[in-house]
Amino acid sequence: MKISASFLSSKDIPNDLKKLNETDVDYIHVDIMDGKFVSNKTMPFKEMRHIYEYTSKRLDVHLMVENPSAYIPLYAELNTEYISIHVEVLEDIVKDLELIKSYSIKCGLAINPDTPVKELVPFLPYIDSILVMSVVPGRGGQSFIPETSQKIREVKSLIESYHLNIVINVDGGVNQDTKELCQGADILTAGSYIVGSEDFQEKISSLR
């Protein structure tokens, strides 16, 4: 199992990123919120770009924004492995996915807890990953929605039925207990469980 660490709930981002850099975590999950797609807002890119200096890990960028096309070129500049946009956005999704691809970055589609899995179908040929939201996006530290377990199974069988090579990443409320509900996932994204602890490596190892 690969692990992606979100620093959304961090009280000291530079320090926590330095600490994460000393662990074997696979990715740093970068949550971007615009105050429109979700009500909270994260710091502007001109500040966010400095995370560069504190980590050598590849980034897993999660755009919780109404207009991903304005953000993709910015985050493509960083050491980014994945950029995920939401299937619920009203922009031309295929165009956005192609924009991500044009930077040779893997593209993902995130899906909210209330959105049916079938909404992903038209985009399956274009994507490298599906980010299954196990909380309503907007903030860290929420409880894992148990129905996500069934949703992961549904997503997995959809991918298999099309014989595609798409990675499943689960995001929100992931910890040592809820990881059991994530069977079928390839990547687990965890925030507060890791950065809210004393021993980052121990928590990361407990999720693998």
Q: Known catalytic residues?
A: 31, 171
Q: How far is the CB of 149 from ligand DX5 (least distance, A)?
A: 16
Number of neighbouring beta carbons within 10 Å of residue 2: 16
Binder to ligand DX5 among 173, 188, 200, 204 (CB under 6 A)? 173
| Contact of residue 135 among Zn ion, ligand DX5, none (CB under 5-8 Å per partner type) | ligand DX5
Contact present, 57 and 21 (Cβ < 8 Å) = yes
For strands 187-190 and 80-86, give the pairing.
unpaired
Residue 138: Cβ within 10 Å count: 15
CB burial string 169-197: b at 16+ within 10 A, e below: bbbbbbbeebbebbebbebbbbbbbbbbe
Is 60 among the residues that bind Zn ion (CB under 5 A)?
no
In the stretch 52-91, what mask flags binding to ligand DX5 with x, by CB under 6 A? Answer: ----------x-----------------------------
Closer to ligand DX5 by Cβ: residue 127 or 187: 187
Instruction: Fill in the per-residue mask, 90 to 129: x = in contact with ligand DX5 (CB under 6 A), - = not in contact.
Output: ----------------------------------------
